[in-house]
Amino acid sequence: MSDIVLETRGLTKRYGGVHALEDADFVLRKGEHVAVVGDNGAGKSTFVRQVTAVEQRTAGEIIFDGQPVHFAGPLDARQAGIETVFQTLALADDLDVPSNLFLGREIFKWKLGPFSWLDRKTMRDRTLEALKTTAVKIPNVDNPIRNMSGGQRQCVSIARTAAFASKLVIMDEPTAALGVQETAQVENIIRGLKDRGVPLILISHNLRQVFDLVDRIVVFRRGRIVANLRRDQTDGNDIVSYITGVKGGAENAA
Amino acid sequence: MAEASSHGLGGLKYDPAKRTRAPEWNVFFALVGIVLVFELLNRLQGGSFLFNMRDNVDAIFNQQRLDIMILQVAIIGIIALGVTQVIIIGGIDLSSGSVVGVTAMVTMSFAQTAMVNGNPNPKAIFGEWAMDLPVIVPIVIGLACGLIAGLINGLLVAYTKIPPFIATLGVMVSARGAAKWWSNGQPVSFPTESYGQLANGDLLGSVTFGLLSWDGQNPAVIFVVLAILFHVIMTYTLYGKRCYAIGSNEAAARMSGINVDRHKVLVYVIAGLLAAVAAVLLTSKNLTAQAGMGVMYELDAIAMAVIGGVSLAGGRGSIIGTVLGAAIFSVIISGFTSVKLDAYYQEMVKGAIIVGAVVLDQWRQRRSARS
- Measured between alpha carbons, how far is B370 from A208 in angstroms, rounded to an integer? 32
Best of A105, A140, A175, A180 to disrupt the B interface (most B CBs within 10 Å) is A140
Q: Is the pLDDT of residue A140 over 50?
A: yes
Is residue A254 included in any domain, yes or no? no
Contact A218, A228 (CB under 8 A): yes
Q: What is the pLDDT of residue B229?
A: 97
DSSP code of residue A10: E
Q: What is the pLDDT of residue B2?
A: 38
Quote the Cα angle for B309-B311-B317, to 5°.
Answer: 55
Q: Which amino acid is at A44?
A: K
Q: Give the tens place of pLDDT for each residue, A59-80.
A: 999 999 888 999 988 888 888 8
CATH code, domain carrying A225: 3.40.50.300
Q: Cα-Cα-Cα-Cα dihedral of A77, A82, A86, A89, to 10°?
A: 90
Q: What is the pLDDT of residue B55?
A: 59
Q: What is the pLDDT of residue B211?
A: 52
Pairs of residues, one from chain A and one from chain B, whose beta carbons lie less than 8 Å apart? 114
Q: Give the helix/strand (H/E) hosting A92.
A: none
Gap from A146 CA to chain B (nearest CA, Å): 7
Tell me if A181 and B257 make a contact (CB, 8 A cut-off): no
Is residue B5 included in any domain, yes or no? no
- Measured between alpha carbons, how far is A152 from A100 in angstroms, rounded to an integer? 13
Domain that holds residue A35: 4-244
Q: What is the pLDDT of residue B8?
A: 38
CATH code, domain carrying B254: 1.10.3470
Is residue A251 included in any domain, yes or no? no
B17: helix, strand or coil: coil
Contact B147, B276 (CB under 8 A): yes
- Measured between alpha carbons, how far is B241 from B236 in angstroms, rounded to an integer? 8
Is residue B277 included in any domain, yes or no? yes
Mean of pLDDT values over A170-176: 87
Give the number of other CB atoms < 10 A from CB of residue B38.
20
pLDDT band at A254 (very low <50, low <70, confident <90, very high): very low
First to last CA, chain A: 19
| Number of domain units in chain A | 1
- Measured between alpha carbons, how far is B10 from A227 in angstroms, rounded to an integer? 35
Q: What is the pLDDT of residue A235?
A: 86
A139 touches chain B (CB under 8 A): yes
- Residue partners of B308: CB distance under 8 A and separation at least 6: B24, B27, B84, B317, B318, B320, B321, B322, B323, B324, B325, B326, B328
Q: Is the pLDDT of residue A179 over 90?
A: no
Contact B100, B279 (CB under 8 A): yes
Q: Give the tens place of pLDDT for each residue, A77-127.
A: 888 888 888 766 678 889 999 999 898 888 999 888 889 999 999 999 999
Tell me if B256 and A104 make a contact (CB, 8 A cut-off): yes
- Measured between alpha carbons, how far is B183 from B181 in angstroms, rounded to an integer? 6
Rg of the Cα atoms in chain A: 19
Is residue A250 included in any domain, yes or no? no
Query: For the packed helices A150-164 and A180-195, what is the interaxial angle rounded to 10 degrees?
Result: 10
Is residue A249 included in any domain, yes or no? no
Report phi then psi at B51, rounded to 5.
-105, 135
Percent of chain A topping pLDDT 70: 96
Is residue B200 included in any domain, yes or no? yes
Which residues in B lie closer than 8 A to residue A52 (C-beta atoms)?
none
- Measured between alpha carbons, how far is A206 from A225 in angstroms, rounded to an integer? 18
Beta strands (DSSP E) in B193-284 are: 207-208, 213-214
Q: What is the pLDDT of residue B210?
A: 56
Gap from A15 CA to chain B (nearest CA, Å): 22
Q: What is the pLDDT of residue B340?
A: 81
Domain that holds residue B113: 23-36+59-366
Quote the Cα angle for B145-B146-B150, to 5°.
Answer: 120
| Number of domain units in chain B | 1
Is residue A253 included in any domain, yes or no? no
Give the number of other CB atoms < 10 A from CB of residue A55.
18
DSSP code of residue B315: S
A108: left (phi over 0), alpha (psi -120 to 50) or beta: beta
Q: Is the ipTM of this complex over 0.85?
A: no
- Measured between alpha carbons, how far is A225 from A246 in angstroms, rounded to an integer? 14
Q: What is the pLDDT of residue B266?
A: 97
| Regions of chain B with pLDDT less than 50 | 1-17, 371
Which residues in A lie closer than 8 A to residue B257 (C-beta atoms)?
75, 78, 104-105
The pTM score is: 0.85
